[in-house]
């Protein structure tokens, strides 16, 4: 494997020292090292991957240097527009180095939401005209690849280093942001899910939230037909929930969202508000972290989500941070008409033995559709 220190120091020797992006589990050791060794103006965790390309472009305009954009390969879709209409050599000709975690690489077992993305990871780069290398796990070969990438950047090209699983040695984040919150996300999810009516449905976002909801149903001896587990497609659960709510006005639809996912496509909140779905409850479990990919921080606990919801037109918005407050608020949610936002502030982390859904995405979809017909 490659030492994170070696990798970052080799980039810095090439004059590459600005990083922006969305954390990825395959890059968590690199992201942790960057967070501990670069100042906050040279490592920016962005709302989404496309925004990171924009930041790198601004950095280049100001300095003449190339920035690094890191992401999971699921974020490639978010960068296609700025790659084609901003950085491309036929538009502004701006260099960017992409670090892409290769989830779902063909031949390597992974979760179902990563399979298709894994198959098309390098194909998308080819279509976009982006030269790339699969980063070697040997430091001398990796150094040569970084030199090749740096040469491309000096020619104002976009270049990608595609990162396989187990490429980097372990590195633990030292500068950890802590909060004094006491309620776990799992406790909060169980409290909200147990308060639902018999016809209510849940659309849960990617990552730990869907996993913890699935395990709660299993522990209670319940089926999973009332929950749509959005295991991929980060940031879009609120719109899936809106699509259901607008067509099934006799049912209350709950979106179980995370702070990172909400921030990734925050404009969707304005669309929810504009459609005025009275049966819509948007629950954001906010721990200020990208929990499922290494615990890197978001700005979730530094912004006022209820104020944002009210500003874009939600009927009501609340924030709670204890189990007692949550239980009290859940009793009152039946009174106001939606859309309603409920921010639930929770502490970081999850059970180490937390499992994954044992049903396939298609089984999940079909069960929910059958439930919605009743």
At 20-78, the pLDDT tens digits run: 999 999 999 999 999 999 999 999 999 999 999 999 999 999 999 999 999 999 999 99
Number of neighbouring beta carbons within 10 Å of residue 308: 18
Beta strand 158-163 with 227-229: parallel, antiparallel or unpaired? Answer: unpaired
Closest CA to 49 of 259, 203, 263, 230: 263
CATH number of 185-373: 3.40.50.970
Domains 4-163 and 185-373 agree in fold: yes
Q: Which CATH superfamily is domain 4-163 in?
A: Thiamin diphosphate (ThDP)-binding fold, Pyr/PP domains (3.40.50.970)
Give the model's pLDDT for residue 262.
97
CA distance 242 to 281: 10
Q: Return the residue matching tokens 């299993």.
A: 218
pLDDT at 335: 65
Q: What does the pLDDT read at residue 351?
A: 85
Average pLDDT value for residue range 243-269: 97
Q: What is the pLDDT of residues 219-240, one digit of tens each?
A: 999 999 999 999 999 999 999 9
Q: Residue 215 pLDDT > 70, yes or no?
A: yes
Per-residue pLDDT of 302-336, as tens digits, reads: 999 999 999 999 999 999 999 999 999 999 887 67
The answer on pLDDT for 113 being more than 70 is: yes
Q: What percent of the chain has pLDDT over 70?
A: 100
Domain ranges of the chain: 4-163, 185-373
Structure confidence at residue 295 as a pLDDT band (50, 70, 90) = confident
pLDDT confidence of residue 332: 87
**DSSP secondary structure, 337-356, as one string:** -S-EEEEEE--S---TT---
**What is the rounded average pLDDT of the residues 210-221?**
96
Residue spans of beta strands (DSSP E) within 12-64: 19-21, 43-45
Alpha carbons 24 and 21: distance in angstroms, whole number: 9
């Amino acid at each position: 494997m490659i030492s994170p220190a070696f990798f970052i120091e080799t980039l810095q020797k090439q004059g590459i020292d600005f990083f922006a992006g969305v954390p990825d589990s395959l890059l968590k050791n690199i992201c942790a090292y960057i967070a501990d060794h670069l100042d906050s103006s040279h490592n920016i965790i962005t709302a989404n991957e496309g925004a990171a390309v924009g930041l790198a472009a601004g950095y280049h305009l100001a300095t003449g240097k190339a920035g690094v954009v890191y992401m999971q390969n699921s974020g490639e879709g978010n960068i296609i527009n700025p790659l084609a209409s901003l950085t491309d050599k036929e538009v502004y000709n701006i260099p960017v180095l992409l670090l892409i975690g290769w989830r779902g690489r063909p031949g390597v077992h992974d979760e179902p939401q990563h399979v298709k993305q894994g198959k098309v990871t390098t194909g998308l780069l080819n279509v976009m005209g982006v030269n790339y290398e699969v980063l070697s796990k040997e430091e001398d070969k990796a150094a040569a690849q970084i030199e090749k990438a740096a040469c491309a950047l000096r020619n104002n090209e976009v270049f990608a280093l595609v990162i396989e699983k187990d490429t980097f040695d372990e590195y633990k984040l030292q500068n950890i942001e802590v909060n004094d919150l006491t309620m776990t996300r799992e406790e909060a999810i169980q409290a909200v899910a147990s308060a639902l009516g018999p016809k209510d449905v849940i659309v849960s976002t990617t990552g730990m939230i869907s996993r913890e909801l699935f395990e709660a149903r299993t522990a209670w001896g319940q089926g999973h037909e009332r929950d749509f587990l959005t295991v991929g497609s980060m940031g879009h659960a609120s719109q899936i929930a809106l699509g259901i709510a607008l067509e099934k006005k006799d049912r209350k639809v709950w979106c179980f969202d995370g702070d990172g996912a909400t921030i990734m496509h925050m404009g969707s909140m304005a669309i929810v508000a504009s459609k005025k779905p009275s049966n819509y409850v948007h629950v954001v479990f906010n721990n200020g972290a990208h929990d499922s990919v290494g615990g890197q921080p978001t700005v979730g606990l530094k912004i006022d989500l209820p104020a944002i919801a009210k500003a874009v037109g939600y009927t009501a918005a609340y924030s709670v941070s204890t189990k007692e407050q949550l239980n009290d608020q859940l009793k009152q949610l039946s009174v106001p008409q939606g859309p309603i936002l409920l921010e639930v502030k929770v502490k970081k982390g999850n059970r180490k033995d937390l499992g994954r859904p044992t049903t396939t995405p298609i089984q999940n979809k079909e069960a929910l559709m059958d439930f919605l017909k009743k």
